[in-house]
Structure 1
Amino acid sequence: MTNKKIWHEQLHCHLGQYFLIDKILYQEKNKYHDIKIFDNVVMGKVMTIDDIVQTTEKDEFIYHEMLSHVPIFSHGLIKDVLIIGGGDGGILREVCKHKNIDNITMVEIDINIVNLCKKYFPDHSNNAYEDPRLELIINDGLNFIKQTDKKFDLIISDSTDPVGPGKNLFISDFYLNCKKKLKKNGIFVAQNGVSFFQTKEIILTYENLKKYFFDANFYQASIPTYYGGTMMFAWGSDNIEFRLNNLKKLKSRIKKSKLSFNYYNPRIHIGSFYLPQYIINALNKS
């Protein structure tokens, strides 16, 4: 038996996961979130928001590489990017690696998340907040997307789960306004939970996305922190060819970028769009 404190995450009433806490680094509840940051011997520093794991030092690279590089290399000519959420800085770090991108706008509702992650998770952003292409805006994502006059080649929604302020980033009005603020042939992507346990949420997203995008779909990655199977990423575009890129083209684009990765590669990219049959069945019925 251990005398260490145990932190539990329980998304479902009969199933959950736990972490042994080696040391609590930060704990506070503000008007937006209940935030905890602690050390774990296996996963390193862990951040939870509203009692749901958001990121860990050990496996964050999988999530951030897949949510960033899949749409960027699929498109091939991204110049203007909008990141909604993502206060830990991981998505920003990956987007900033692409030197051909001209402008990066990031909208985060809680400046406290940004400051905490700069302090406790500095490798997540890796100084990306200092990139001169970045405009950081503290605002609600739905409010911003409704009000802005800017248009983007890529919108990445890196939100919390659909609870609290994160609810606004999973509703039909949000997807509609994202579509309006995309340039021609733009791409929208978003985290969309774990497919095995959150199939209803995936179906709801699909039903909303297909109202506004010719090609509404999903891709996936296995991320240890998000227990229960594969993490799903929503995909919306009017150009179906972006999702159907061949291996040769992806290899050429990646080679030209001179970037290296810890998880992402061209075969992972292509394979991520092949969904399990139970998800295909569920989407076909919706």
Structure 2
Amino acid sequence: MSEDDFFTEKQTDGVHLSLKVRRWLLRQKTQYQELVLAETTELGRLLALDGKVMLTEADEAFYHEMLVHPTLLSLDNPQLVAVIGGGDGGTVREILRHPSVQRVFWVEIDEAVLNACKELLPSVHRGAFDDPRVELVIAPGEEWLPKFRETFDAIIVDGTDPIGPALPLFEPPFFQACRQALKRDGILSLQCGTPFYFRDEVRMVWRNLKQVFEQVKLYLGFVPTYPSGLWAYAIAGNFLPNLDAADLHRRCQQRGLTNFRYYSPEVHIASFALPPFVQELLQ
């Protein structure tokens, strides 16, 4: 390996992100995608799929905390959760921090990704693969979920960007299946790209959710290695509670949730304040 090896993601035609690689851990063509794991010089271990950064050890918590906690802290007593995707285990790890959670169905299409992440990313999953509350299912989420009706307190979609093979997870038929599988006050959450570069994709996901759910809210977070750094998430349901920072602090305390790297009750509240260019995008 050359000392000057880099992993480079083409984020747009004119914007590329390059991370210097100390050593390549795995480069594999799976049944579904190109899988890369590498040790970078600056940001720890890197997971990439089809040339796109899924996480680095340095900033994965920024993403996983913001995908999970705004949803689960909005629920009084989340017990049954479905995760679609999330083969690295970071999302399941954060869900398992909530003591009321009794069972997590973790549905991932690519077993090769699961095997690689279990072995090479222990700092991310932190034993989530072996937690007795977790049931791991190898299947396409859009085929697995329609079997359920009014089952889940939360469904969290941790997929790749809303293009290519992941596109079915962002379209109305899948969202209809999510609505059917959620309890009456259940919540769906998902990432939906960057409103800075991927405006059409974010608008598409927003509009598709609005076709299916009574209430939809977009919120923002910062993930340094994702395109533009500004990342959008959405939550959807028939009833989304309006909690203030005091409510969220109380729930964190009751659940023993401490030592966040990015999330806080104040960040939670602020993340729903959308800048004008994002508001315009959704009109």
- The normalised TM-score by structure 1 is 0.95
Q: How does 1:27-176 map to 2 (within 5 A)?
A: 27-149=27-149, 151-176=151-176
How far has the Cα of 1:6 moved from its partner? 2.0
Kindly report which structure 2 residues correspond to 1:14-25, keeping only aligned pairs within 5 A, or say none.
14-25=14-25
Shift of 1:133: 1.4
1:252 maps to which residue?
Answer: 250
Shift in Å, 1:167? 1.8
Q: 1:149 deviation in Å? A: 4.8
Distance of 1:104 and 1:150 partners within structure 2: 15
8 Å contact kept, 1:189–1:235:
yes
Q: Counterparts of 1:275-286 in structure 2 under 5 Å?
A: 275-284=274-283
Counterpart of 2:178 in structure 1 is: 178
| CA distance in 1: counterparts of 2:101 and 2:171, whole angstroms | 29
Identify if the C-alpha distance between structure 1 residues 163 and 228 changes in structure 2 by more than 3 Å, giving closer, same or farther.
same
Following superposition, the deviation at residue 76 of structure 1 comes to 2.3
Task: Report the Cα distance in structure 1 between the residues aligned to 2:279 and 2:112, rounded to whole angstroms.
Answer: 39
Q: Distance in 1 between matches of 2:272 and 2:161?
A: 22
Question: In the TM superposition, what are the counterparts of 1:234-253 in structure 2 within 5 Å?
Answer: 234-240=234-240, 242=241, 244-253=242-251
Residues 82 and 156, structure 1, Cα contact 8 Å, conserved in 2: yes
Q: Do 1:220 and 1:231's aligned partners in 2 also have CA atoms closer than 8 Å?
A: yes
Q: Aligned with 1:270: secondary structure? A: helix
- Cα distance in 2, alignment partners of residues 247 and 66 from structure 1: 15
Query: By how many angstroms is 1:185 displaced?
Result: 0.8
Cα distance in 2 for partners of 1:11, 1:221 equals: 18
Structure 1 stretches of 5 or more lacking a match? Answer: none
Q: How much has 1:3 moved relative to structure 2?
A: 4.3
Aligned mates of 2:257, 2:207 — CA distance in 1? 35
Q: Identify unmatched segments of 5+ residues in structure 2.
A: none
Deviation of 1:229 after TM superposition, in Å, equals: 3.4
1:60-80: CA deviations, max 9, x gaps? Answer: 111111111110111222111
Q: Which amino acid aligns with 1:268?
A: V
Q: Note if 1:6 corresponds to 2:12.
A: no
Answer yes or no: is the 8 Å Cα contact 1:196–1:229 preserved in 2. no
Letter of the aligned partner of 1:263 in structure 2?
Y
**One-letter code aligned to 2:104:** I
Q: State the Cα distance separating 1:202 from its structure 2 match.
A: 1.0
Deviation string for 1:169-193 (max 9, x for gaps)? 1111111111111101110000111
CA distance in 1, matches of 2:47, 2:18: 13
RMSD: 1.4
- Per-residue CA deviations over 1:176-229 (Å, capped at 9, x if unaligned) read 111111101110000111110111111111111111111112111101110313
What is the number of residues matched between the two proteins?
281
- Aligned twin of 1:262: 261
Q: Is the 8 A contact 1:36 1:47 kept in 2?
A: yes
What is the CA–CA distance in structure 1 between the aligned matches of 2:29 and 2:128, rounded to whole Å?
27
Task: Judge conservation of contact 1:195–1:279 (CA < 8 Å) in 2.
Answer: yes
Deviations 1:27-58 (A, max 9, x none): 01122010111111111110110000001111
- Name the TM-score, length of structure 2 as normaliser: 0.96
2-structure distance, mates of 1:188, 1:277? 25
- How far off its partner does 1:148 sit? 3.5
CA contact (8 A) 1:195 1:229 kept: no
Distance 1:234 1:265 in 2: 17
Q: Is the 8 A contact 1:216 1:237 kept in 2?
A: yes
